[in-house]
Amino acid sequence: MDNWILKQAYLVPNRIAVDDGKTQLTFAKLKQEVIKLSGQLKTADVLEGQRVAIMTSNSLSGYLLALAILGSNRSIVWINWRLSDEEITRQLKDSNPSMCLVEDKLWRDSFQKGFMKFSSLMRVPAANYQLVSEFHDEDVASIMYTSGTTGRPKGVMQTFGNHFASAVSSSLNLGLSAEDEWLCAVPIFHISGFSIMMRGLIYGMTIRLVSHFQPENIDQILTTEPISTVSVVPYMLKKLLTLRAQHDVPYNSNFRCMLLGGGPIDHQTLKLCQKYRIPVVQSYGMTETCSQIVALNYEDAERRIGSVGKPLFLTQLKLGENQEILIKTPALTKGYLNRSNALESKKTSDGWYKTGDIGHLDNDGFLYVDGRIDDMIIFAVRIFSQMKSSRSILQEKKLMK
Amino acid sequence: MDNWILKQAYLVPNRIAVDDGKTQLTFAKLKQEVIKLSGQLKTADVLEGQRVAIMTSNSLSGYLLALAILGSNRSIVWINWRLSDEEITRQLKDSNPSMCLVEDKLWRDSFQKGFMKFSSLMRVPAANYQLVSEFHDEDVASIMYTSGTTGRPKGVMQTFGNHFASAVSSSLNLGLSAEDEWLCAVPIFHISGFSIMMRGLIYGMTIRLVSHFQPENIDQILTTEPISTVSVVPYMLKKLLTLRAQHDVPYNSNFRCMLLGGGPIDHQTLKLCQKYRIPVVQSYGMTETCSQIVALNYEDAERRIGSVGKPLFLTQLKLGENQEILIKTPALTKGYLNRSNALESKKTSDGWYKTGDIGHLDNDGFLYVDGRIDDMIIFAVRIFSQMKSSRSILQEKKLMK
């Protein structure tokens, strides 16, 4: 495929690519900015290796730098700025980027060699630099770590092909229009946010960047700006609904839906969505699948409370052993960094990815996620232990008799 | 990927899949019909080989049978019913289908062994038959012949992956909505029509089938039914515009655009489109690329008269030797049937497909198709011959002196 940044600058040069509330950049301007930043990355020797890490809020400069990394044919290593020094060190050790670029306001005194402030980079002159002309399906665009706070970190490698498949699957479900504008208040270091950035490039769509979630601010934007779609988690949705109770003005006329990740909603919340005419599309996905792979459309929401919906067009889904949710999708990661067999070990012999979630399907094929298989196993082990204990006690009692 | 027929019956069972003006079938009902027909194909031994030919107008039964062939994991060989007996024989000899299914009204007395009327098939009882659960990217969905009236026929093999890439590329340009309905008055044996059928399955969109182009009828449908999109060629567009001059009622409110293939339009025609508020999207494509790969959006039409537009998102395009239009796209055929090197011979050493068309790009990257390279070569040869002749004459004159 052509480089998506160059392609949209060619196809829709005058359309707004990104808007942070202060600055609006067209796709043509975006291209210029990305070329300049790539030249600066070059000068600063940041393009020495194959990967560049970035630690940023949803700032315009973070967004642009991430694209400059992609445009320079390097992989982005997304660093969650909420992590401890120790966790960050572990992830950087694993991914071995040539540099970790840090937004100034997130700088920590502990950062030494291998870290660079955005402002330091901006002071560097830009070398002449030509962006790569193609994005290849198999190339790794981004790496995101999914480990918890302990254990060896697991870097999920997301390819351009994965992001493309995800964006296409989403568009086949939610629809697509040249007037679409997606509000991104979820973090871009997380797949929920980065997938919005990718959709922006693939659809030629405006991304409205918001640095952090302030309910009043989001409500205001949804009311006054032509936002068609916004990604939220249940907490955000509830906060926004509370504000709706206080406001008379409806969301703007271009508004089409809220894409909800991070768990299904309860009946009461849905009732409020209906009351305020906010179509909410619930979804299920993970870092390994580049965001949503299953979605519940608004029309079905009322009759399927608790369900995450049906597999998207490109998602194949079935239940395996112990009711584990198994999937196949071109959006599935090509693997975990430096762990050559880790993905294979999570697949069945015939190639289905084991999500680790257990679930069930109702008669019409709507999926309900019932928990983590680990929890179920832990639970089963506990029951089993208890049974054993009981038996032991019984046996002991017998023996005592 | 999941079998598209089964997938849409699962995702949007109650949405209308196809409407021929008399019968409307939901995707759920479509699935039932296709299963039944596949069972009949099985009983009639039509599924013995890997291919089934079909000769049909844009009839509902032809549409359903084509899907039954796909659903049974066989390739459709599309036979143009306008061809001579001799041409049909050549194509069938090349593709070697287990049967050629013929719509009753297109039956010819010359058809003997290897041909079967739709009505004969319908009388056969349906065996129990399970549709294939997956459509594979690399599998051949359809074969269409592109040869002229002479020479060995060239069967273009179009894979499921080709059709999917084409449908996605189109949606990224034209947009997509759950309310879309595409009017198909172009023949389904041609890629312009069959690509609409494929989009229907991929988008979960209603196809409005029209057996043949009657301007009054099409105008009526566009006015009274919720058609969003219609594919036309210049002849059809002009006929429809003539009718617009006589009618007061505008097209229905769901109408979004006319997709025009088969050559760009002149300024006068565009003026009429503007007058009647008919957004026309001009396009360029071929059987080998599963329809459009370049399109000119309506906003750009006035300033780019004569252009076919810009390459779609998945199309890579450049000009090669002699200004030949070169492309790369996942919608490109995997090859010509029984001609293992024919496609390779039409590619450059670095994998670009040589379209055989010559063209130029303006400063903003809009493509203009200037003719066939063969014609140019013929022209060049003629000029060269004339020059030679002139020289000969001169020489003769010299000699005579």
A208-219 confidence digits (pLDDT tens): 999 989 999 999
Residue of B2, B133, B281, B307 for testing the chain A interface, max A β-carbons within 10 Å: B2
- Are A300 and A270 a contacting pair, CB within 8 Å? no
The pLDDT > 70 percentage for chain A reads 92
β pairing state of B140-145 and B155-159: antiparallel
Question: Which of B1, B204, B313 is opposite residue A314, by nearest beta carbon?
Answer: B1
Whether A313 sits inside 8 A of B177 (CB atoms) is no
Lowest mean pLDDT among A387-401, B326-340, B364-378: A387-401
Give the per-residue pLDDT at A3: 98
Give the per-residue pLDDT at A399: 47
Please report the residues numbered 66 through 95 in chain A whose beta carbons come closer than 8 angstroms to any beta carbon of chain B.
Answer: none
A185-194 confidence digits (pLDDT tens): 999 999 999 9
Give the per-residue pLDDT at A388: 57
The pLDDT > 70 percentage for chain B reads 92
Tell me how close the Cα of A70 comes to any Cα of chain B, in angstroms.
18
Task: Give CA–CA dist B251/B258, Å, rounded.
Answer: 11
Whether A202 sits inside 8 A of B313 (CB atoms) is yes
A235-256 confidence digits (pLDDT tens): 999 999 999 999 889 999 999 9
- Tell me the CA distances in angstroms from A59 to A66, A72, A111, A209, one per residue in order: 11, 20, 20, 7
Read off the pLDDT of each residue in B75-82 and give the average, rounded to a whole number: 97
**pLDDT value at A392 more than 60:** no
Read off the pLDDT of each residue in A282-294 and give the average, rounded to a whole number: 96
Read off the pLDDT of each residue in B61-81 and give the average, rounded to a whole number: 98
**Which of helix, strand or coil describes residue A206?**
strand
Give the per-residue pLDDT at A178: 95
β pairing state of B310-311 and B291-296: antiparallel
**Among residues B269, B268, B286, B282, which one has the least CA distance to residue B343?**
B286
Residue of B12, B133, B164, B176 for testing the chain A interface, max A β-carbons within 10 Å: B176
Give the per-residue pLDDT at B351: 96
A168 touching B (Cβ < 8 Å)? yes
**pLDDT value at A288 more than 90:** yes
**pLDDT value at A146 more than 80:** yes
Give the per-residue pLDDT at A376: 64
Question: Which of B7, B10, B171 is opposite residue A176, by nearest beta carbon?
Answer: B171
Query: Where does the pLDDT of residue B401 fall: very low under 50, low under 70, confident under 90, or very high at 90 and above?
Result: very low
Read off the pLDDT of each residue in A89-118 and give the average, rounded to a whole number: 97
Give the per-residue pLDDT at A384: 57
Whether A10 sits inside 8 A of B310 (CB atoms) is yes
B401 exposure class (CB count in 10 Å sphere: 0-12, 13-18, 19+) = exposed
Give the per-residue pLDDT at B383: 57
Whether B316 sits inside 8 A of A134 (CB atoms) is yes
A387 touching B (Cβ < 8 Å)? no
Tell me how close the Cα of B122 comes to any Cα of chain A, in angstroms.
31
Q: In CATH terms, is domain A4-214+258-373 a member of 3.40.50.12780? A: yes
Query: Where does the pLDDT of residue B120 fall: very low under 50, low under 70, confident under 90, or very high at 90 and above?
Result: very high
Whether B202 sits inside 8 A of A313 (CB atoms) is yes
Task: Provide, as residue numbers in chain A, all residues whose Cβ is less than 8 Å from the Cβ of B316.
Answer: 1-2, 134
Query: Where does the pLDDT of residue A401 fall: very low under 50, low under 70, confident under 90, or very high at 90 and above?
Result: very low
Better-scored residue on pLDDT, A371 or B223: B223
Q: How far is CA B108 from the centre of its chain?
A: 25
Lowest mean pLDDT among A298-307, A350-359, A377-386, B126-135: A377-386
Question: Which of A134, A175, A365 is opposite residue B177, by nearest beta carbon?
Answer: A175
- Are B61 and B33 a contacting pair, CB within 8 Å? no
- Tell me the CA distances in angstroms from A9 to A2, A26, A33, A50, A174, one per residue in order: 11, 8, 12, 25, 24
Mean pLDDT of chain B: 93
Can you state the angle between helices B234-244 and B267-275, rounded to 10 degrees? 40
A362 touching B (Cβ < 8 Å)? no
Query: Where does the pLDDT of residue B382 fall: very low under 50, low under 70, confident under 90, or very high at 90 and above?
Result: low
Read off the pLDDT of each residue in B84-112 and give the average, rounded to a whole number: 96
Task: Give CA–CA dist A236/A278, Å, rounded.
Answer: 13
Question: Which of A175, A316, A365 is opposite residue B176, by nearest beta carbon?
Answer: A175
- Tell me the CA distances in angstroms from B240 to B31, B173, B212, B259, one per residue in order: 34, 24, 14, 13
Task: Give CA–CA dist B213/B221, Å, rounded.
Answer: 12
Read off the pLDDT of each residue in A115-140 and give the average, rounded to a whole number: 97
CA-based nearest residue in chain B for residue A13: B364
Mean pLDDT of chain A: 93
Question: Which of B10, B11, B178 is opposite residue A175, by nearest beta carbon?
Answer: B178
Whether A177 sits inside 8 A of B175 (CB atoms) is yes
In A291-337, DSSP assigns E strands to: 291-296, 310-311, 316-319, 324-328, 335-336
Give the per-residue pLDDT at B186: 96
Task: Give CA–CA dist B256/B180, Å, rounded.
Answer: 9
Give the per-residue pLDDT at B398: 54
Task: Give CA–CA dist A161/B137, Å, rounded.
Answer: 14
Question: Which of B7, B134, B172 is opposite residue A203, by nearest beta carbon?
Answer: B172
A351 touching B (Cβ < 8 Å)? no
Tokens of A58: 């949803």
Whether A7 sits inside 8 A of B313 (CB atoms) is yes
Read off the pLDDT of each residue in B139-161 and give the average, rounded to a whole number: 87
Give the per-residue pLDDT at B350: 95
B202 touching A (Cβ < 8 Å)? yes
Whether B203 sits inside 8 A of A172 (CB atoms) is yes
* Residue A118 backbone dihedrals phi, psi, to 5 degrees: -50, -45
Task: Give CA–CA dist B297/B364, Å, rounded.
Answer: 14
Tokens of B361: 């790009």
Tell me how close the Cα of A297 comes to any Cα of chain B, in angstroms.
10
Tokens of B170: 């189109």
Task: Give CA–CA dist A181/B320, Å, rounded.
Answer: 37
User: In the beta sheet, which residues pair with residue A148?
Assistant: none
Give the per-residue pLDDT at B148: 53
Read off the pLDDT of each residue in B309-328 and give the average, rounded to a whole number: 97
Task: Provide, as residue numbers in chain B, all residues whose Cβ is less than 8 Å from the Cβ of A362.
Answer: none
Give the per-residue pLDDT at B57: 97
A204 touching B (Cβ < 8 Å)? yes
Whether A175 sits inside 8 A of B172 (CB atoms) is no
B182-240 confidence digits (pLDDT tens): 999 999 999 999 999 999 999 999 999 999 899 999 999 999 999 999 999 999 999 99
R_g of chain B, CA atoms, integer Å: 23
Give the per-residue pLDDT at B1: 96
Read off the pLDDT of each residue in B81-102 and give the average, rounded to a whole number: 96
Give the per-residue pLDDT at B150: 59
Tokens of B301: 């039409």
B11 touching A (Cβ < 8 Å)? yes
Tell me how close the Cα of B168 comes to any Cα of chain A, in angstroms.
7
Give the per-residue pLDDT at A76: 98
Task: Provide, as residue numbers in chain A, all residues whose Cβ is less than 8 Å from the Cβ of B314.
Answer: 1
Task: Provide, as residue numbers in chain B, all residues whose Cβ is less than 8 Å from the Cβ of A204.
Answer: 172, 313
Q: What DSSP element (H or E) covers A275?
A: helix A267-275
Topology classification of domain B4-374: Rossmann fold (3.40.50)
